[in-house]
Every structure is written in structure tokens, then in C-alpha cells.
Chain A
Amino acid sequence: MKKVLYIIAHNLRVLRSDRSAFFWLLAMPLVFTFVLGIMIRDGGGGSGEPPRYALTVANLDEGEHGAALLEAIEEADEIDLLVVEGPDAGAEAEALVEDGDRSAALVIPADFSALLEAGEGAALTFHRNPERMNPLVTRQAVEKIVSRLNVSALAGAGVLEGYEHLWGAVPEERAPELTARADRFVEEASETPPLTVRVETLGRGPEEDAPAMGFSHSSPAMALMYVLLNGLMASVFLVTERRERTLMRLFTTPVRRSTIIVANLGWRFVVGMIQIWFLIGFGALVFRVDWGDSPVGLLAVTVTYVAAVAGLSVLIGSVARTSRQAESLSLVLALTMCALGGLWWPLEITPRAYQRVGHMIPTGWAMDAMHNLISRGYTLAGVAPQALVLAGFAAAFTVAAVLTFRHE
């Protein structure tokens, strides 16, 4: 079996002689991991700087309520505020949204204070750019501020109406005093609300000082994606070997067919393992990704996943007739499997049927295993089901590859 190692070493040498290989195998995934990591971290969902949402406010009201609302918005951390003024402020704010310069705008109507003082409801107008997702979050932030103001208004009104209900009309001189007292009560009570929410993330949960929230999402997904993409693309080598007749020549030397197939699986496996562990290592050291508590579990998952990719790669290389065909087939399969397996977006948000499809291919299982290791802190036993399924995929692909392997 020395010859298996010789062929593997030989193929690594061939790969090394291709100057772009380094770039595709190692540099490109890092670029993607980095950019995606930054996006996830800063784009919300991570534990880095809280995200800020762009909101343009046009205050057409000259009364105190408009000013109070604007002040409350100004104090909100999550809002990146732009105030437009002047008689055409409303139209201006709206235009900014329509041109795509700002995601959302809030218009405080001119009769805002007047309506509230008259005890009638007043409506703010919220403009959002329909092509963006962020304004939904912005609107929630605005609602939170407005509800605080509403509570004060409600308490004030309730005291007066309750008084009236019990004892008849409120003496005019008592009214300001009563509403002020209710307002004070609300302010004090709001500082220590009786009912609170505590969030408990089960499993390992994110670490206290996890600076790399974004990367802990992008690193595993990108590592799995690039191992798959590059692995399947390596099918082209087999087609090239057939076209250039080196494979046929190999079959005229005293080397067994099984040796040749094993070596073809073997070198792809070795490259895949080097690649995935390089990315894991880089993620851990540079992006400070926490890969869980079980290196053995991670090893089991990577070994079986890479083996499945290697098997599929040899299978594609055996089935494809030309290198362009192998390329197209690899690209189509790799991208589809990334999308379906939850490497581009979490499977949890997709419909049930989609999740089932995702678990008919290796990527869905590999991503599950990564979640189990990284988020849930499972050990080898915890990822054994996924590793076994991946091993099954590896075996199936390998058998198919053996059956279709040919030298011409």
C-alpha cells in the first residue's frame, strides 16, 4: 500500500504546482469568513456593538408633545437619527426613503400636540423602504419609545376618568396635581418594573467575552462550504487524468485498480482535511471562534464529512465526460447543497419540507453536528448520529464511485 501513499503524495505535488490552488483552498474561504463574520456581527444578531438603525424624523409639530417624542427618540441608542426641518420636512423625509438614502422615516404631524391635549388620538406616519428588511426593526424601536409615552398619558387620563367614575367631575384645580402624581408614580415604578425577563441559553451558550459572535457563525459554514466546493471541483483532475491518458498509463503499470481508486479518494481526503483544519485553526486563533469542547467530536465530523465529499468528487470525476462538464456539475451540486444544507442561512427558519431536503444531503447533517459541538457543547457521543450518517454518505458515494470508475 506504499503505492497508495506514492500516488497521494504525487497528487499533492501536482496540486502544489498549480499556483492558484493555495488561493482557492485557503485564502478565498478566509475572505468570505471574514466579510460574512463582520456582516453578522455588525448587522445584528451578534453580541458586538449594538446595531443602529437609520431613521429620519420630520417634526411638523410645534407643541411640547412633539418635542418630547423627538427627545425620547434622540435618547434611544439603537436609532441613528437624522432630523429634517422646515416647512417641507415631511416630503423631504419621504423622498430620502424613496431614493434609498435612508431606510425609514417618521413624520410627527403638525396637530400632534393639539390632538393629544384634546384627549384625542394622534397618529405618526412611518415610511419605510420596501426593498429593505431593517425598517421592521426600526419600527419596533419607535414603538417601544411611543409606548412609554402612551403609558404616562394613559395613567394621567385614567386617574381623571377614575375620579369621575367614583366621585363625579374632577375639580379643575385638582386635575394638574392628579395627573402629575400619576405621572410621577409611573416614572418611579417604571424604573424597577415588577415583572422581568431572564434569558437562559441552554447548552454551552455563548462565552462571556465572545468577541467573535459573527465568526462563530460564518467560520463553520464557510469551512464546510469551501471544503465542499473545492472538493467537488477536484473532480476535474480525474477527467484531466483520463483525457491526458495518464490514468490509462497508470492502469498499464503493476498497480491494482483498487489502489488507484483508494489513492484518488485518499488525496482528496488529505487535501480536504488539511483545508478544513487550517480553517478551523485559523478561525480559533485569529477570529477567536470557539469550536466546542470536543476536539474528538470535531475530528469525527470532519473526517466523515470530508470522506463524503471525496467520494462524491471521485464519483463526479468518473461520471463526467469533459472537464467543463465536471466543473458545471460540481458547481451546481456544491451551491445547491450549501443552500439546502443551511450553510448560507439557518435551516431553522425554512419550511419543514426544506429542512427534510436539507437532511437528505451531507451538508444538513454536517451543519447540525457543528451546532451540536459549538452551541450545545456535545461530545463525541452527541455528534455520533450525524457522524454515522455522514459516514453512510461517504460509503454510498464511494461505492458509486468504484462502480463508475474508468480509465477511458
Chain B
Amino acid sequence: MRGDAIIDAERLTKRYGEIVAVDSVSFEVPEGEIFGLLGPNGAGKTTTIGILSCLVTPTAGSARICGIDVTKDSLGVRSKIGVVPQEIALYPTLSARDNLVFWGRMYGVPDHALKQRIEEILETVELSDRADSRIDTFSGGMKRRVNIAAGLLHRPSVLFLDEPTVGIDPQTRRSILELVVELNDHGLTVLYTTHYLEEAEFLCNRIGIMDEGKMLAIGTKEELTATIGATGVIAVSADGMDESIVGWLRSLDAVADAALVESELTINVIAGPNLLPALVEKLTSSGAAVHSVDVTVPNLESVFLHLTGKSLRDRDGSPAEGEPVGKKT
């Protein structure tokens, strides 16, 4: 696979003084894949994308996009990639079309092709009718779509999407995820960073889990969940729990991992349901007020818990309510 990988990162490292933002990260993304970088804020995802898009010079390691080294031929790399920043990096007082013309030119799209491409892309992001309105009159979702469109004009070999759904409403989130799927269906390779595990599960062919600058595991969702050796996940919502319960759980053979975040207790279980009675009794006797207990199959949350001993959910809050893609029960 090494030969035809679109992205090939080898032991990428970025230090800022004492801080190691990215620590020897390696991964490959073959053509046509949606590859997810999953991890909490500060895990090093954005720095990794920064190195791959030539914004950040790596302290060590190397990376190639379509076989071009990012440190040796940055212009060559940049013409192969489309980068969609987390922020709406557009000119608010210009129209959508003016913005796209500008970015198209910057990507070196020839003038004769540009007009046609813009029409096509506006069609794809369903904004043809608002093409000549100023960006600052757009809703958040429309801005996001133009933001993505601006990265597609030059038909990049790979699209970098950096947390494109942070802080937006469920409908917009759905439309963006659908857009990514559609683009991928047409053959576009996508590098997608997120800290929402539901998005990673829904979108990505393969997922790399990052934390504190390190790549902890890479694989399909199934491969990743298989590694934890757990057969089930118990999620308890209760008031009055403390860390002693986690200690107790970890001492049990039936428990692979356990983590407590505020009033949510997550347990990766090796031998499923027979833990429940003991757990409930322990909770009740310790004075906790149990609101709910869910038993599910392992997911990426369980993987993250397994790998880091932490929950992914504690950093930035969960996706908004009414989440359309998640499989949480």
C-alpha cells in the first residue's frame, strides 16, 4: 500500500520548546478513503494537519502527499490538497462567488475552467441561488458549505477537513456529513479530524486515535473495538459516585477499564451482564443515586477509554441533542 498512499506520514514530530505537540506520528491514507483523526482538543490533530498542509515545519519525521515531500516542495503539495480550516476562512463582505473566484485563482485554477467549476461546486453545496449574496448575510450552515467549497475548486487529490462541525446545529452537521460522504463517493480522499466519536464512526473507513500528541491506534472501527478485548460496555448515570468505585471496578477480572466523568461512569466489561447485580449493589450501598444503566456493545468511546483511561466526552461536551448519526442507545 505504501506506493499508492495519498498521505504517507512517518514519525512526524513537532515540538514547541518543551511542549511536544505531535510525537512521532505515523500513518498512511490510501486513495479513496475517509481517514479520521479522533482525539480530544489538544491531542495534536490540528498540528498534524498543519504539517501535512505545509503550514507547520515538522521538528522531525517526514510526510508525503501523493509522493511529494511536504518539507521539500510545499507548493507542489499545496496544489494537491484542499484545506478547509475549522474557522470560516472567507471574506465576509464579498459574495460567495467572489470568494470562490479568489480561492480558485489562488489554487491556480485556469480562468477558462474556473467559472464552470464554481457553478458545479455551488450546485454540489446547494448554494447556486445565493451565489451572489455576501457571505455575512449567510447562515452558519451556508457559510460552512462555502468554506468547504473553497477547498474543492482545484479538484484536490485529498481534502483536509479540520473539525468542520464544531459548534453548529444538528441539521447543519447532518448536511455537512452528507456532503463529505457524497464527495467521497465521487472518489475524493478525505482526512477528517474530529473529537466527536459518532462522526468518526459514521464517516470514516479507518480511524487514528490521538491523545497528547501520540497516535495510539489505527484501524477500522471493528479492528479498534476488537483490540480492547471487551464484549460489552456498561454506562451508569448516577449522583454521588467517587473514584473509589473506579478502583473497585478495576480490581475485578471482569472489567477491562473504567472511567468516571462527573456523574457518568463507563465500564468496559469482559464478561458481560453478570457484573451488573454486583455493580448496582455496590453503588447503592455506597449511597449513590442511580438514574440509569445502559449496556451496549463496545464503541470508539470504549476504545479511547481502553487506550487512555480517560473518557473522550469530558473535553468539549457531546454533540448536540438530536444527533442524527450516533449509535448511542
Contact = CB atoms under 8 A, between A and B. Distances in A.
Interface of A: 3, 6-7, 10, 13-14, 17-18, 244-246, 248-256, 407-408
A253 to B, nearest CB: 4
B94 interface: yes
Which 6 residue pairs spanning A and B have beta carbons closest together?
A17-B93, A252-B83, A245-B89, A254-B79, A249-B89, A245-B87
A244 B88 contact: yes
Contact of B106 (A17, A244, A253): A253
Given A3-B106, A249-B150, A252-B55, 15 more contacts: A6-B106, A7-B106, A10-B102, A17-B93, A18-B93, A244-B87, A245-B89, A249-B103, A251-B54, A251-B55, A252-B53, A253-B107, A253-B108, A254-B79, A254-B107
Nearest to B81: A252
B89 A14 contact: no
B105 A254 contact: no
Interface of B: 53-55, 75-76, 78-79, 81, 83, 85-94, 98, 102-103, 105-108, 134, 150
Contacts of B55: 248, 251-252, 407-408
Contacts of A254: 75-76, 78-79, 106-108
Contacts of A6: 102, 105-106
Contacts of A251: 54-55
B99 to A, nearest CB: 9
Nearest to B103: A253
Overall SS of chain B's interface = loop
B117 to A, nearest CB: 15
15 contacts: A3-B105, A14-B94, A17-B93, A17-B134, A245-B85, A245-B87, A245-B88, A246-B89, A248-B85, A249-B83, A249-B85, A252-B53, A254-B76, A255-B106, A256-B75
A7 B106 CA distance: 8
A250 B98 contact: no
Contacts of A245: 85-89
A66 to B, nearest CB: 73
A246 B89 CA distance: 4
A271 B14 CA distance: 40
Contacts of B105: 3, 6
A248 B89 contact: yes
Contacts of B86: 245
Contacts of B134: 17
Contacts of B76: 254
A308 B303 CA distance: 58
Contacts of A18: 93
B89 A244 contact: yes
Nearest to B55: A251
Contacts of A249: 83, 85, 89, 103, 150
Contacts of B78: 252-255
A249 to B, nearest CB: 4
A240 B207 CA distance: 35
Nearest to B86: A245
B90 A246 contact: yes
A10 B106 CA distance: 11
Contacts of B102: 6, 10
A391 to B, nearest CB: 30
A392 to B, nearest CB: 32
A255 B79 CA distance: 9
A2 to B, nearest CB: 8
Contacts of A256: 75
Given A253-B106, A254-B108, A13 B98 contact: yes
A242 B54 CA distance: 17
A364 to B, nearest CB: 37
